[in-house]
């Protein structure tokens, strides 16, 4: 069973565990497995996104932010999904001054969610 403390931390990174557990056939264990698997796939995407942001490669920033957005959406991780979606919007709207700030928000939420995955 996921503790109330962890539930609160998940909510703080934009994930409603009750709603997501329902999507995983009311199984916290199944949700937990998919939550941890998210980081296996998303880790590489986040690394590529970080490198693209550092290099100012807007094509790769958009591509990897879009991938991260999809992965985060699959498990309901709004704290990563929302800023990743904003990065995609920023690039597509040529608001290149905004995407770095949005990346910082995305990275912070990702790191917090990753920390939770180690304790879930």
pLDDT in tens, the chain (120 residues): 889 999 999 999 999 888 888 888 889 999 999 999 999 999 999 999 999 999 999 999 999 999 999 999 999 999 999 999 999 999 999 988 899 999 999 999 999 999 999 998
What does the pLDDT read at residue 25? Answer: 87
- pTM recorded for the entire structure: 0.92
What does the pLDDT read at residue 120? Answer: 87
Domains of the chain by start residue, with CATH: 4-117 (1.20.120)
| Residues 3 and 17: beta-carbon distance below 8 Å | no
What does the pLDDT read at residue 90? Answer: 95
What does the pLDDT read at residue 24? Answer: 86
| Residues 113 and 94: beta-carbon distance below 8 Å | no
């Amino acid at each position: 069973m996921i503790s109330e403390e962890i539930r609160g931390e998940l909510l703080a990174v934009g994930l409603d565990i009750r709603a997501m557990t329902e999507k995983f056939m009311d199984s916290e264990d199944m949700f937990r497995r998919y939550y941890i698997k998210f980081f296996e796939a998303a880790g590489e995407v986040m690394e590529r996104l970080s490198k693209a942001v550092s290099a100012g490669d807007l094509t790769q920033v958009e591509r990897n932010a879009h991938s991260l957005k999809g992965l985060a959406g699959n498990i309901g991780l709004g704290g990563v999904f929302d800023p990743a979606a904003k990065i995609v919007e920023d690039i597509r709207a040529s608001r290149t001054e905004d995407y770095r700030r949005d990346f910082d928000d995305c990275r912070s939420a990702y790191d917090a969610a990753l920390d939770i995955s180690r304790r879930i």
